Amino acid sequence: MPPRVRPVRGWRAATVAGTARESASARSIRLAVDGWPGHVAGQHIDVRLTAEDGYQATRSFSLSSAPGEAPQITVERVDDGEVSPYLVDVATDGDALEVMGPVGGYFVWQPGDDVPLLLLAGGSGIAPMRAIWRAARAHGTPVRLVYSARTADRVIFADELRSPNGPESTVHLTRERAAGFEHGRLRAEQLSALLRPGGVREPRLRAYVSGPTAFVEEAARGLIGAGLDADSLRTERFG
């Protein structure tokens, strides 16, 4: 069977076309990209920044906008990081950068993938999930999201999650208790229940897990331990 997602090669010139604060530590950046070829939900791009002295830094960022929307990334600040503090706190409209991609043909959702979706996101791992839930819901595919953030002020896309346009979702806070949120890390029995909506095992369910490597590995292990078939699991590790 031919691959459904064509790889796109080469750096393209891009500019910052708009920014939006998403949480105390995260910001979305809309990009205007020369010759943007469009993207599939779940894909990412590589972003290359060049300083005045010629020094370059490259990092990967998932696309948080749905296919058909302008390319957008959503970046969470890593306090001692080199690139993310610039993107979250400094970059302004018109700033130039370069992008490569979109990249990725495995951690993606496309029309025709008509199975119920379970999305597990940790921290900035919510970025590709937004593209997936927007695309999947537009095609009538059921989506359940479980999102883990450290504190309430670090919940990204909080307004969209609360709105009727958001997916059915539960948000866990690992570092504080707050009304309207679950407390603590995802437990094995919770993962097991997610595979059994209404108490009945959903055999067609596909799970996507993204975020920091430790979160992804723990959640993936838990889902497999709860009986999910490895072929029904897609993971994206942010490092």
Ligand X SMILES: Cc1cc2nc3c(=O)[nH]c(=O)nc-3n(C[C@H](O)[C@H](O)[C@H](O)COP(=O)(O)OP(=O)(O)OC[C@H]3O[C@@H](n4cnc5c(N)ncnc54)[C@H](O)[C@@H]3O)c2cc1C
In angstroms, the CA 202 to CA 131 distance is 23
- Give the dihedral of Cα atoms 1, 61, 232, 145; nearest 10 deg: -140
180 alpha-carbon distance from chain centroid:
22
Rule CB under 6 A: say whether 84 interacts with ligand X: yes
In angstroms, the CA 208 to CA 41 distance is 12
Stretch that binds ligand X, among 9-17, 34-42, 53-61, 175-183 (CB under 6 A): 53-61
Which one of residues 28, 43, 62, 72 is an interface residue with ligand X (CB under 6 A)? 62
Which one of residues 22, 76, 98, 182 is an interface residue with ligand X (CB under 6 A)? 76
In the bound complex, what is the minimum distance in angstroms from residue 26's beta carbon to ligand X?
Answer: 7
In angstroms, the CA 234 to CA 25 distance is 26
Q: Give the largest CA-CA distance in the chain.
A: 60
Q: What is the CA radius of gyration of the chain?
A: 18
The 89-128 contact track toward ligand X, x by CB under 6 A, reads -----------------------------------x--x-
In angstroms, the CA 128 to CA 209 distance is 10
Which one of residues 28, 61, 119, 145 is an interface residue with ligand X (CB under 6 A)? 61
Footprint (CB under 6 A) of ligand X, residues 33-52: 44
In the bound complex, what is the minimum distance in angstroms from residue 62's beta carbon to ligand X?
Answer: 4
Stretch that binds ligand X, among 8-16, 76-84, 94-102, 161-169 (CB under 6 A): 76-84
